[in-house]
Chains A and B, each alone.
Chain A
């Protein structure tokens, strides 16, 4: 059980998030909606344990995640709006560090996003959509339980969005959790919707 209660985040002198709460059981998904600048990314950073909220608590099975950030880190599969791809390395080499630390098989991860043919190509030759798929493949490595995704469909074509949707469904079927911020229709059946900045 992953839950956040009454989160408050202040940036500079601006309140970005105020009174945000959410709760996920295994298999659940939450879809974050909101206009640009509504605090979607900020909320995701807090939930991943990267940014400590100014007030409120985030717990995993009742344990405050900021009491032991390094353990919480190993539960989080993180996809930010940046792809974090090193252009000088091949697609396969880009996944190597994650495969060593998260576990999982690079070949399977690449195959699941239709990247097998590009495995040995330098990442600088990949298109924007292919890079996005590569960072999705890295995020999925090792099957960490909590997927935190910031605009996962950026740059993806329809076929790739379908691949992502089926991967999300598979992850939830085995008890994984998904929190995704998106502004397009991402197929997440039964996901709860959390609208930010609606005030």
Chain B
């Protein structure tokens, strides 16, 4: 158990040292969001209607980028064996990795989503629901992604397999997240979507680390 916080510290230290990987996911998110006004046109009404969907799909794709290296680097250089022998149960290794992924990808995405929403003319009444929904949503994406990246360890063409595995599982996150910030819907409907988004997070919270742990064990065999 005592290895849990040191592991998060180790992950954050590595992320700092390889800052380019972290920034790349954020820049990807910004570039995707900027492409939409160029393709659709700058008309504020149309953009504002689509803004939650653009931001959610962008965040989902950006969160996928660092996943392949999440366990992949440790698997290739032998560090994964040391993690498995640190005395920490594999499910907690998965949880610590998910938290680190969220701190280095999910949290910065939430911060940068606000100015991007303004750029996309999201009506101000939808701004708060969007940001509130991103909190459980990005946490869920980190959990699902961690499980996916542990499961593909050792598989050939894992980089291709990962999105195919994770994206379908992430559909509830996108559906509830985007409808929770839909400028066209009533406050009660927004609230309901946010609650469902949170419920899905609570559902994933115990399951994904357990799945990740099983994947790590299998990779260690």
Contacts and interface: CB of A to CB of B under 8 A. Distances in A.
Contact of A101 (B3, B14, B79, B220): B3
Interface stretch (A12-20, A71-79, A110-118, A171-179): A71-79
B7 A97 contact: yes
Of B10, B78, B85, the most chain A CB neighbours within 10 A belong to B85
Contact of B82 (A52, A78, A96, A100): A78
21 contacts: A45-B221, A50-B220, A51-B221, A70-B88, A73-B85, A78-B81, A80-B78, A82-B78, A84-B77, A84-B81, A86-B14, A86-B17, A88-B18, A97-B3, A97-B6, A98-B86, A100-B6, A101-B6, A101-B86, A101-B88, A138-B82
Interface string A90-130: 00010011101110000000000000000000000000000
Interface string B131-167: 0000000000000000000000000000000000000
A85 interface: yes
Nearest to A99: B6
B17 A101 contact: no
A24 to B, nearest CB: 18
A101 B77 contact: no
A189 B18 CA distance: 45
Given A78-B85, A101-B88, 19 more contacts: A45-B220, A50-B85, A51-B220, A52-B221, A70-B88, A71-B87, A73-B87, A80-B81, A82-B77, A82-B78, A82-B81, A83-B77, A88-B18, A97-B7, A98-B86, A100-B2, A101-B3, A101-B87, A102-B86
Interface of B: 2-3, 6-7, 9-10, 13-14, 17-18, 77-79, 81-82, 84-89, 220-221
A184 B86 CA distance: 29
- The 7 residue pairs across chains A and B that have the minimum distance between CB atoms: A82-B78, A84-B78, A100-B6, A74-B87, A101-B3, A88-B17, A84-B79
Contacts, number: 74
Q: How large is the interface on A (under 10, 10 to 19, 20 to 34, 35 or more residues)?
A: 20 to 34
A84 B81 CA distance: 9
A102 B78 CA distance: 18
A89 interface: yes
A159 B61 CA distance: 51
A100 B3 contact: yes
A48 interface: yes
Nearest to A46: B221
Given A50-B84, A74-B87, A101-B86, A83 B14 contact: no
Contacts of A102: 86
A48 B78 contact: no
B10 A96 contact: yes
B5 to A, nearest CB: 9
Contacts of A74: 87
